[in-house]
A = this chain, B = another copy of it.
Amino acid sequence: MYKKAGVKVFAPATVANVAVGYDILGFALEELGDVVIVREGSESGLKIKTIVKNKGLSKDIRKNTAGFAALKLLESLGLENEHIEMDLIKNMNIGTGLGSSAASAVAGAYGVNAYLDYPYTKSEILRFATLGEQVADGSFHADNVAPSLLGGFILIRDNETLDLNKLACPKGLICVIIHPHIQVLTQYSREILQPLVKLEDTVRQSGNLASFVIGMYKSDFELIRRSLDDCIIEPQRAHLIPEFYPLKEMAINFGALGFSISGAGPSMFALCNNSFIAENILEGAKKIYKEKKIKCTTLISNINHEGAMKY
């Protein structure tokens, strides 16, 4: 009997917030992400068969971001009873601040779409992936999902309508990721934020965000450097991350364009325009955490401009 060929897809890890774009700015990494394999199943409906490298995640498709995103896509096509099964290869731990749940959601929706021979465009998948991501934290937001799906730097004007744009991106941007092995719960990291912001800080932050966008369009690294300065979120969250300020000082001194918390943390990112600077920051971070006997994972990555892909 003829069996439909399976597909294997990759969706990248992402850095959200990016210092000055809390909840509305994110970018994708080249070097890290989740993999989903989709193939014909033996029974009716979508099933998650295997989860590799993270046994703790639920295989219930309604409780798993990859499963739920894929299910929503199938339902929209009236194909929820197709015989489909899925393997999820988690290369990231949850709660790292690198968009782990979003990468899975994107890989799930993108994988099923590829398996069905692309009934939807990438942009059309976004809503399903965002619904999948909602399983993880209950809110409908695309600041990780959109860059994971579309690649590059994504600025979201409005999360509700998913009105977003991919920014121009100068050549040569490199990212250093530092992930201390501690857990920061996204929900706690959100709850500690003050609900009100000083008007002057609102003005300052939005000037920095808008200037960051201009810097990207003009390939003006010095403007990007001056703009990556978060006066609202970072000061409220820095204490959740051991040695945040010594790490930041080290990175800035080595020449990072910017250094801040990735998403809700505890991972941190440094944006650089030079691989020597990136190497120095990576070694500097290892040294600081070694002295404090804190385990960490570090990574240097280019920006991923393509987003989710079949391979």
Contacts and interface: CB of A to CB of B under 8 A. Distances in A.
A193 B271 CA distance: 36
Interface residues on A, range: 35 or more
Given A21-B210, A203-B23, A207-B156, A195 B195 contact: no
A181 interface: no
Contacts of A210: 21, 24-25, 155, 157, 206, 209-210, 212-213
Nearest to A161: B226
B196 A157 contact: no
Interface stretch (A42-50, A60-68, A77-85, A163-171): A163-171
B211 A209 contact: no
Given A214-B165, A214-B167, A205 B207 contact: no
A232 B155 contact: no
A202 interface: yes
Contact of A155 (B22, B25, B193, B214): B214
Nearest to A196: B196
A205 B202 contact: yes
A119 B20 CA distance: 38
Contacts of A197: 196-199, 202
Given A202-B202, A223-B165, A214 B211 contact: no
Contacts of A207: 21, 24, 155-158
A22 B199 CA distance: 10
Nearest to A23: B203
A207 B159 CA distance: 10
Contact of A199 (B24, B25, B193): B193
Interface in A190-230: 193-199, 201-214, 217-218, 223, 226-227
Interface in A135-182: 155-158, 163, 165, 167-168
A157 B212 CA distance: 9
A196 B198 contact: yes
Most buried by B among A155, A202, A206, A212: A206
A195 to B, nearest CB: 6
A260 to B, nearest CB: 16
A206 B24 contact: yes
A208 B23 contact: no
Given A209-B209, A226-B163, A168 B217 contact: yes
B208 A209 contact: no
A22 to B, nearest CB: 6
A194 B195 CA distance: 14
A232 B165 CA distance: 23
B22 A208 contact: no
- Would you list the 6 A-B pairs with minimal beta carbon distance, nearest first? A206-B206, A157-B211, A196-B196, A24-B207, A202-B202, A217-B217
16 contacts: A22-B203, A24-B206, A155-B210, A155-B211, A155-B214, A157-B208, A157-B210, A158-B226, A163-B211, A163-B226, A165-B218, A194-B199, A202-B205, A206-B206, A213-B213, A214-B217
